[in-house]
Amino acid sequence: MSMAMVTAACSSSSSSSSSVSTYSKLSSSHCTYKLTSSYNNNNHLSRLSISQIHRHRAPSLQIKCQAAGDDGFLEPPAVYQGVYGPWSVDSTDIREVISYRSGLVTAAASFVLASSAVFLPDDFILTDLLKQNVDVLYAIGASGLGLSLVLIHIYVTEIKRTLQALWVLGVVGSIAAKVCLAQPADESLVQYVVDNPVAVWFVGPLFAALTGLVFKEGLCYGKLEAGILTFIIPSVLLGHLSGLMDDGVKVGLLGAWMALFVIFAARKFTQPIKDDIGDKSVFTFNALPEEEKTALIQKLEQQKLSES
């Protein structure tokens, strides 16, 4: 009995045909494999479907490699026309955007959990658990925000660096306040800031970075919840720092902050990946040496003149 030898990154399925011998090496975005076959009707191949065998020419074999749940080859990525040329979304872009959005979800979830203790009864078991771990939640949320600020796409590099610098200042200030102020007072950092409004100066830059991020999102995508958060976040912090805001108002704004932050983070996953990338050609252009930038601009200007 003749046999078929297949090396492929696919799973098993059956195929039937008369005896044929051929050798092919194929590659696609799904898999790369070799096929050496001399097979009869009962041979089983690895999810390879033979579409046609041409007998009137040199023997050829058309093979489709199917991944689980896929009916064919991946379609080529969509090409978008940018300011400095066409661009497309690749796997690295997808990973970065998912990580960026995951950082926002982490920050939102941590903030909501830590803040929910304000709205829970004092004798509730979950209230004590949250208060005991509020600084851990604060650290996790700050880390998620930091990840998002590393991966955020902003055309003006100076703005991105400013937000990152604010985050660093906020982290350093939070550590300093925790070690030098909260621990000697036998309090958590968050509780110390609540009891001592002046401590907002230490943690404030961290929330200023968050405000800048949501402002960017609201400005770029017209998100209502992001626009409202741009005003709520500094209002709560400045109201607490100045002592001019009533506790009831602060709690009400805190509840609105929690709800809007959840909506903001969740809605990020309803956007196309390309939205969080922006015009990729701009970032590619900014990374070029000055002489290459000049050459590219001249080339684009010549193309416009030839088309007009």
Residue 275 has pLDDT above 70, yes or no: yes
Q: State the pLDDT at residue 82.
A: 85
Interatomic CA distance for residues 281 and 296, integer angstroms: 12
pLDDT band at 287, cuts 50/70/90? Answer: confident
Q: State the pLDDT at residue 60.
A: 40
For the stretch 289-304, pLDDT in tens is: 888 888 888 888 888 8
Interatomic CA distance for residues 170 and 189, integer angstroms: 13
Q: Residue 202's closest CA among 224, 180, 186, 184?
A: 180
Three-state SS letters, the chain: CCCEEEECCCCCEECCCCCCEEEEEEECCCCEEEEEEECCCCCEECCEEEEEECCCCCCCEEEEECCCCCCCCCCCCCEEEECCEEEECCHHHHHHHHHHHHHHHHHHHHHHHHHHHHCCCCCCHHHHHHHHCHHHHHHHHHHHHHHHHHHCCCCCHHHHHHHHHHHHHHHHHHHHHHHHHHCCCCCCHHHHHHHCHHHHHHHHHHHHHHHHHHHHHHHHHCCHHHHHHHHHHHHHHHHHHHCCCCHHHHHHHHHHHHHHHHHHHHHHHHCCHHHHHCCHHHHHHHCCCHHHHHHHHHHHHHHHHHHC
For the stretch 138-169, pLDDT in tens is: 999 999 999 999 999 999 999 999 999 999 99
Q: State the pLDDT at residue 21.
A: 35
Q: Could you tell me whether strands 44-45 and 13-14 are parallel, antiparallel, or unpaired per DSSP bridges?
A: antiparallel
Residue 196 has pLDDT above 50, yes or no: yes
Residue 74 has pLDDT above 90, yes or no: no
| Average pLDDT score, the chain | 80
* Mean pLDDT of the region 45-67: 39
Residue 234 has pLDDT above 80, yes or no: yes
Higher pLDDT, 80 or 52: 80
pLDDT band at 102, cuts 50/70/90? Answer: very high
pTM for the complete prediction?
Answer: 0.73
Q: State the pLDDT at residue 258.
A: 96
Q: State the pLDDT at residue 164.
A: 98
Whole-angstrom CA distances from 300 to 79, 223, 307 are 18, 34, 11
Residue 69 has pLDDT above 70, yes or no: no
